[in-house]
Structure 1
């Protein structure tokens, strides 16, 4: 009986170590993914601001054309 318990303890310890290793790996992947999403968010913000500025310039140009015509 003792040998069976010791064997099971050994198996569970190995599973525990593997679970910890996998958890550490996933946490690293999560951090990488968060950084990627943050970079994408920043790029979207910049591009949307450029579009807004371009739209404002086009609107200003159209208004100027109407007033001079």
Structure 2
């Protein structure tokens, strides 16, 4: 019976090590994905601010330009 228990123990230890390795890889990928999403979020924010600034500039230019008045 002892050899059977020792064999099973070794199998479980190998499975545990393999599982821990997979978990470490997934955590690494999660960290990389989080960093990528933060960069994309920052780029989105910058582009939205540029669009808002451009729209505000166009509104100001239109408001300050010549006006046509019908008689």
TM range (shorter): over 0.9
Bigger Cα Rg? 2
TM-score (norm 2): 0.91
Residues 1:60 and 2:53 aligned together: no
**Deviation digits for residues 4-56 of structure 1, max 9, x if unmatched?**
11010000000000011001101100000000000000000000000000000
Q: Deviation above 3 Å: which 4+ runs of structure 1?
A: none
Higher fraction of helix: 1
Query: Structure 2: which 5+ residue stretches go unaligned?
Result: none
Structure 1 length-normalised TM: 0.93
